[in-house]
Amino acid sequence: MLLCHEMFSSLQGEGPHTGRPAFFIRLSGCLEPFCPWCDTKDAWFGGSPASIEDIIQKVVRESHRFVVITGGEPFLQWDDGLSRLDRELAEMKIEVQYETSGKVAIPQQVRGEVICSPKYLSGKWHLARESMYRADAFKFVACRESIFFIDAFIAEHGIDRDRVWLMPKGKTRKEQTELLQFLWEHCVKKGYRLSARLHILCFDQKKGV
């Protein structure tokens, strides 16, 4: 049994699979310190119980071959049923992408692709050591004030630039667009990849898209 905030069909709005049709499973629960700029604060607490069988039925009914499991912090529920969901989706040949902050150690046995978005808060990075070595790619929520720390983190850990996506910080379309040109130019300079956040550019602050 998993605590779910919402499930819906949409397009992946950011990162390596931008624009790809997907079924989203947003799990409830997150881990302090919380991100003040988070655009899914409603998923930090609460949630509705959902059985693995019910979740799989919804995936099958929507006919998707790509599932995004996000949060909140999804790996908080690894031992409460997420490991089983991970296994069963893999057995069904359904591709899975996890979105995590990495504050909870990424399980070594996870079968899906893991996109880690480390958070720099209160003067330091909040990332479990295990997450650094298990993540398949890294997304950084970036702005002019944080870019120095992001560059230093990437250099310190020797992260391949082809595994790095920068995304504009902000919960609104206006905040996003004000940063896109700056991040575009920085990605050209550093060799990173740029990810818009299409769901915010298209729908602004609308939820469930």
What residue numbers does the annotated binding site for [4Fe-4S] cluster cover?
A: 30, 35, 38
- With a CB cutoff of 8 Å and minimum separation 6, the contacts of 133 are none
Rg of the chain, C-alpha, whole Å: 16
- In order, the DSSP letters of 141-153 are EE-TTTHHHHHHH
What letter represents residue 201's amino acid? L
Residues in binding site for substrate: 11-13, 26, 70
Q: Which residues contact 106 (CB under 8 A, 6 or more apart)?
A: 75, 98, 100, 114, 116, 128, 130, 131, 134, 135
Q: Which residues are annotated as a binding site?
A: 11-13, 26, 30, 35, 37-40, 70, 72, 117-119
Instruction: Please report, in angstroms and rounded to a whole number, the separation of the first and last CA atoms in the chain.
Output: 24
Q: How far apart are the C-alpha atoms of 186 and 182, rounded to whole Å?
A: 6
3-state secondary structure of 206: coil
Binding residues for S-adenosyl-L-methionine: 37-39, 72, 117-119
Known binding site for Mg(2+): residues?
Answer: 40
What are the CA-CA distances from residue 96 to residues 67, 175, 200 (Å)?
5, 30, 22
